[in-house]
């Protein structure tokens, strides 16, 4: 029997455990999660794109009828105030796929009830003391950033808030441009153990002082401030070392504009299973992961490149960060070629995009998503 231990019980740890249990369902394995019960999940809603709900359906049969996760569906993201072309833009997922708005506590309980994983209250300081065939290190953000590569991001801080009144029922998240950056609105259910309708004000503390950001947050949004966070953006250059796979914030983190973190941790967990059981070379896995993170970085910077309705120091800085030779620019031009092909009939253009399997992906996004953003901004 192979023993796989996941060290760390955050959302990434539980994603790793479920991924290993599902991918190894035809193997003789024992999956354990070792967690520190004194460490509590951050009380804020989390959002995904389309990979995680598809995986939960395959692994656990989770569906919207029973909704054992107590999640709300996410059909896309409503961008307000981004770019110069229109006041708002709805970025939907391809072919009516959906993501999730969820509470980390509810996700934790769902995995615990699955019966696929053994759970132990066992904090770990030194990963080398863990006796297992394979280990997933999900102990959170590293204290020492040696061996990590910085990612470029216009924002490095967040102020979390609880709205004084609930929004209307929504099936989408919101990303609202502000003078200092942007604000997310995540409509988690009213009975969620995280805050219903989580709100977060993203900004850069080298441009906007924290006190000013707090004032602007409460001035623009009807919220009570709950906490503040400062964060770097980074990824691990070699996330597989011996029999240890890094995951979660031990692996990478980048700002939440496109809800990429949980999806990244799931994609990486599945890739690690290919290393364990399908012969995927470690060097290949490390390379593919690094390339994916750079494409995620570039796709997020592309959002800022078109500016917003604000002409402020933050937006002047943020709009200058996009690489001039980005592949996304050429993919955007391909959309114009397709428009000419169909004489400007956007219905036929989108059908062409949705059905043409030759169009490649970029990071975690399909050609469909890239063209939707390009058409809205350009």
167 confidence band (pLDDT: 50, 70, 90): low
Tell me: pLDDT of 326 over 90: no
Can you give the residue ranges of every domain in the chain?
A: 2-73+101-144+233-300, 324-377
CB-based burial label for 90 (10 Å; 0-12, 13-18, 19+) = middle
Cα dihedral 248, 257, 305, 237, rounded to 10, equals: 0
Tell me: pLDDT of 365 over 60: yes
CA distance 5 to 135: 5
Tell me: pLDDT of 173 over 70: yes
Determine the pLDDT at residue 50: 87
Share of the chain above pLDDT 70, in %: 89
Determine the pLDDT at residue 193: 63
Determine the pLDDT at residue 373: 84
User: pLDDT tens for residues 94-146?
Assistant: 666 889 888 888 898 899 999 999 999 999 999 999 999 999 999 999 999 99
Determine the pLDDT at residue 164: 81
Sign of CA dihedral 159, 76, 87, 156: positive
Determine the pLDDT at residue 340: 72
CB 302 within 8 A of CB 55: no
Determine the pLDDT at residue 350: 61
267 confidence band (pLDDT: 50, 70, 90): very high
353 confidence band (pLDDT: 50, 70, 90): low
Rounded mean pLDDT, 213-236: 95
Rounded mean pLDDT, 324-329: 79
Tell me: pLDDT of 358 over 70: no
231 confidence band (pLDDT: 50, 70, 90): very high
| Coil/strand/helix, residue 174 | strand
CATH second-level architecture of 2-73+101-144+233-300? 3-Layer(bba) Sandwich (3.50)
Residue from 370, 169, 366, 127 nearest 263 by CA: 366
Tell me: pLDDT of 343 over 60: yes
Residue from 300, 301, 309, 271 nearest 288 by CA: 271
Q: Mention every residue, 6+ apart, whose C-beta is less than 8 A from residue 256.
A: 47, 184, 200, 202
Share of the chain above pLDDT 90, in %: 63
The stretches of the chain forming alpha helices (DSSP H) are 11-23, 51-60, 104-113, 210-220, 261-277, 282-305, 313-318, 327-341, 346-355, 367-377
Tell me: pLDDT of 202 over 70: yes
Question: What mean pLDDT is reported for the chain?
Answer: 89
Is the pLDDT higher at 327 or at 186? 186
Determine the pLDDT at residue 201: 98
92 confidence band (pLDDT: 50, 70, 90): confident
Determine the pLDDT at residue 70: 85
Tell me: pLDDT of 310 over 80: yes
Determine the pLDDT at residue 328: 81
- pTM of the shown model: 0.90
Is the pLDDT higher at 353 or at 316? 316
CA distance 315 to 26: 51
Rounded mean pLDDT, 150-170: 87
Tell me: pLDDT of 357 over 60: no
Residue in this structure with the two tokens 């494409």, named with its chain if needed: 295
Task: State in Å, rounded, how far the first CA of the chain is from the last one.
Answer: 56
Rounded mean pLDDT, 55-82: 89
364 confidence band (pLDDT: 50, 70, 90): confident
Residue in this structure with the two tokens 């979390």, named with its chain if needed: 160
């Amino acid at each position: 029997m192979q023993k796989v231990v996941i060290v760390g019980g955050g959302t990434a740890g539980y994603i790793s455990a479920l991924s290993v249990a599902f991918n190894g369902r035809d193997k003789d394995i024992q999956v354990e999660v070792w967690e520190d019960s004194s460490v509590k999940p951050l009380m804020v809603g989390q959002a995904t794109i389309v990979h995680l709900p598809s995986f939960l359906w395959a692994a656990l049969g989770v569906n919207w009828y029973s909704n054992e996760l107590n999640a709300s569906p996410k059909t896309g993201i409503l961008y307000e105030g981004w770019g110069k072309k229109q006041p708002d833009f709805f970025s939907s997922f391809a072919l009516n796929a959906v993501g999730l708005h969820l509470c980390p506590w509810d996700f934790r309980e769902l995995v615990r009830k699955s019966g696929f994983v053994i759970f132990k209250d066992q904090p770990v300081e030194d990963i080398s003391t863990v006796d297992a065939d394979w280990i997933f290190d999900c102990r959170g953000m590293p204290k020492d950033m040696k061996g990590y590569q910085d990612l470029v991001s216009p924002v490095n801080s967040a102020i979390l808030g609880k709205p004084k009144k609930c929004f209307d029922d929504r099936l989408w998240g919101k990303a609202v441009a502000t003078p200092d950056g942007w604000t997310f609105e995540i409509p988690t259910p009213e009975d969620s153990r995280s805050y219903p309708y989580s709100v977060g004000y993203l900004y850069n503390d080298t441009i906007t002082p924290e006190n000013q950001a707090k004032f602007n947050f409460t001035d623009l949004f009807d919220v009570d401030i709950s906490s503040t966070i400062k964060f770097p953006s980074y990824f691990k250059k070699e996330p597989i070392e011996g029999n240890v796979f890094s995951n979660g914030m031990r692996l990478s983190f980048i700002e939440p504009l496109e809800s990429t973190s949980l999806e990244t941790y799931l994609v990486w967990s599945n890739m690690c299973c290919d290393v364990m059981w399908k012969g995927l070379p470690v060097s290949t896995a490390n390379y593919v992961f690094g390339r994916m993170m750079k494409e995620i970085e570039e796709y997020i910077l592309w959002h800022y490149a078109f500016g917003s309705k604000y002409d402020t120091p933050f937006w002047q800085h943020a709009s200058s960060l996009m690489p001039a030779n980005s592949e996304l620019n050429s993919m955007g031009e391909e959309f114009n070629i397709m428009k000419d092909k169909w004489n400007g009939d956007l219905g036929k253009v989108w059908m062409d995009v949705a059905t043409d399997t030759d169009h490649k992906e970029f990071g975690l996004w399909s050609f469909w998503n890239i063209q939707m953003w390009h058409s809205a901004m350009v």
